[in-house]
Structure 1
């Protein structure tokens, strides 16, 4: 096991293929405070530049500093820049005290030795759902706490389903979903839209079908994986999904759904408010697994992590700041601030549902979700993901069969991982 209590950061290379994780760093000596050692100021980095200094989020961060008796100096950057900056800061010995980081990148930073473990900070993560905590676990050590989770489910246009005689509660597996698509398209509506774009978003949206077939990210060309990709290509061939899915991001997919023309859309927790404001009645059901039940959907959301510091006396206040963000009340506040992150603990989820019981489908989805870097994939995940989204693109475009596309993906992933 790595001993992160040392201020020395071991040398490591981190090659990241996913666009949101593109970075390479060799971290050597360092591990200082980005605040320059000011005992009254703690530095905080997060990936929310859309939340300005007068926002509810910024005020919440500042309040956690006030509670710990210090001032928090917050810096916001987009996800890619934040990952790169964190790696560079560790190399230069200028790491901030606290970082909020997209969960697939946690293992990358942990692999360099630049992060403290939750045990070293004295944090209790026993109440955090294991499936959510797993994204930040490397070699049986947890390197942060999820501040909440979002994931995917199946939104539906209730008006179109009623007109076509489809009961959304009857959609429990792939066959029943495909039958529903046949009914709604036969009734003159459009079927389903999703994001198959050639980026991490494409992998993110494909994974529920991939995992729902029983496939594993270490075996991209398994029969189960082929079945999942054949499901998507089959929908295109039948006219149940539009050709635009090849280039759709999750945002453009949602824009298509909001036209009121589509019966279904694969999208995330973050569209809850938008769905409520749509010009038609909407609902949500879990993404179905091939043989029935809810498919594991990938978890989105950030972890709160603490880089190694030369001055280890800072850790006590850092722990207080982290604990402020991760109380049941804190988790619920995050959920409502970001509309919606589901709390990563049963206690937090119950508190959220007490206030907003209509979020039960999303709590259920998060409880079934899975981290993309789980199964100890760590820094291999971005290379596997790129191979997977490339296969999806090749199959959706018709340039390769699902079986051939995934066979090439497996070969490419093995070559990239080495």
Structure 2
């Protein structure tokens, strides 16, 4: 999700290229040639904020050394990476290993950029099925997830206490709305989120949409309408501010960070900021309509293998991917990236850390946006959906009419 893009923009744009061999770092313009098991292997990632001294880059070097090769690493901003790898593939010079945002996997696979795991012998059996779904297209699996993030509800302890709300009572939509009513009655602000007319708006709406039992193939189902009606009702009653219509996930967080809101829908990537907020906070899963944890969309990256003319290179690429995603390295990497690991073994270790169990539970319930066989159809559904959310929250259309129009648009685009 663009969640990480936002964080990386804060960290800085640009591209960093380093060559790693036996732990030594230096500049290079090598082309990544060489036979399997020797020479230079290229890795592209969406983490330009990590420089040559970072734990991430040191791990890349170690994996290269263990595989007996030199690793040339390039770090790009997420917004640039897809176009760069498409161009490189067209020119016959793709990287050997590509780490890419999970919704992009289906696009690259359909374009013939990526090689399925069956060809590279990459084993993804330890990965949780709901996270692996983003890399499964047409009955084939492409790459493995390196980690995941998702959404939950942050809450301000002092505000809930002053409003007489026990957060343990918030278990479904009815109890959450009742809590918001108490908060407003106490003269405080209720909940903030992002409903902007971009993928971020769809990303934040999906837990409520899926939590109602709705499916992306039928946007205007009664369940889907109930989810949009919930948000509309919150705005009408003043439980959520009108600013959500234009809020990104960053500006929504900034509202919560003022200390004036009881709840905020946001992600794992805000944990460091939450610790700096200056007030006591907690985190609960986003509740489904009838109780339990709502399925939230997964963010995070996949480690994939692009198609090469020299197919003999795949054996070493597989070693590099396996090294980056083994249990020991996943724990360290996902801590660095503020991710929840994609395997139950590492998740159990993370769940023992204070504050992470709620995120492990949320990731367990999460879903891939491109899953359920949607693949490259997802963007053609997401845009009409966020358009419907905008229409309903701005008051230009009631939820049923907004979603019916969205369904017509999505159905025509995905035929």
Q: Under a length normalisation based on structure 2, what TM-score does the superposition of the two structures give?
A: 0.90
Instruction: Pick from 342, 357, 369 the counterpart of residue 360 of structure 1.
Output: 357
**C-alpha contact (below 8 Å) 1:230/1:402 kept by paired residues:** yes
**Range 178-187 or range 80-89, more displaced:** 80-89
Question: Shift of the alpha carbon at 1:163?
Answer: 1.1
Secondary structure of 1:42's counterpart equals strand
2:266 match: 267
Instruction: Summarize the alignment of residues 395-410 of structure 1 with structure 2, pairs less than 5 Å apart.
Output: 395-410=392-407
4+ residue runs of structure 1 moved beyond 3 angstroms? Answer: 36-39
**C-alpha contact (below 8 Å) 2:33/2:41 kept by paired residues:** no
2:179 match: 180
Secondary structure of 1:294's counterpart equals coil
Secondary structure of 2:350's counterpart equals helix
**Range 287-296 or range 275-284, more displaced:** 275-284
Task: State how far apart, in whole Å, the 2-side matches of 1:97 and 1:148 are.
Answer: 20
**C-alpha contact (below 8 Å) 1:296/1:369 kept by paired residues:** yes
- Aligned pairs, how many? 385
1:369 match: 366
Residue 294 (1) aligns with residue 293 (2): yes
Secondary structure of 2:190's counterpart equals strand
**C-alpha contact (below 8 Å) 2:146/2:301 kept by paired residues:** yes
Task: State how far apart, in whole Å, the 2-side matches of 1:43 and 1:295 are.
Answer: 39
1:167 match: 166
**C-alpha contact (below 8 Å) 1:203/1:389 kept by paired residues:** yes
- What are the Cα deviations for residues 242-281 of structure 1, in whole angstroms up to 9, with x where unaligned? 1110010111111111110000000001111221232111
Task: State how far apart, in whole Å, the 1-side matches of 2:47 and 2:192 are.
Answer: 27
1:117 match: 116
**C-alpha contact (below 8 Å) 2:33/2:39 kept by paired residues:** no
1:53 match: 52
Question: Shift of the alpha carbon at 1:63?
Answer: 2.3
Question: Shift of the alpha carbon at 1:34?
Answer: 5.6
RMSD, matched Cα:
1.5
1:389 match: 386
Task: State how far apart, in whole Å, the 2-side matches of 1:93 and 1:397 are.
Answer: 48
**Range 95-104 or range 112-121, more displaced:** 112-121
1:12 match: none
1:78 match: 77
**C-alpha contact (below 8 Å) 2:350/2:357 kept by paired residues:** no
Task: State how far apart, in whole Å, the 1-side matches of 2:31 and 2:310 are.
Answer: 11
- What are the Cα deviations for residues 33-87 of structure 1, in whole angstroms up to 9, with x where unaligned? 9624474211111112222333332222222222222221111222232111222
Gaps of at least 5 residues in structure 2 are: 6-29
Task: State how far apart, in whole Å, the 2-side matches of 1:131 and 1:84 are.
Answer: 27
Question: Shift of the alpha carbon at 1:205?
Answer: 0.2
Task: State how far apart, in whole Å, the 1-side matches of 2:164 and 2:31 are.
Answer: 60
Q: Under a length normalisation based on structure 1, what TM-score does the superposition of the two structures give?
A: 0.89
1:233 match: 232
Task: State how far apart, in whole Å, the 2-side matches of 1:71 and 1:186 are.
Answer: 63
**C-alpha contact (below 8 Å) 1:198/1:247 kept by paired residues:** yes
**Range 287-296 or range 59-68, more displaced:** 59-68
1:256 match: 255
Instruction: Pick from 348, 351, 361 the counterpart of residue 349 of structure 2.
Output: 351
Residue 324 (1) aligns with residue 323 (2): yes
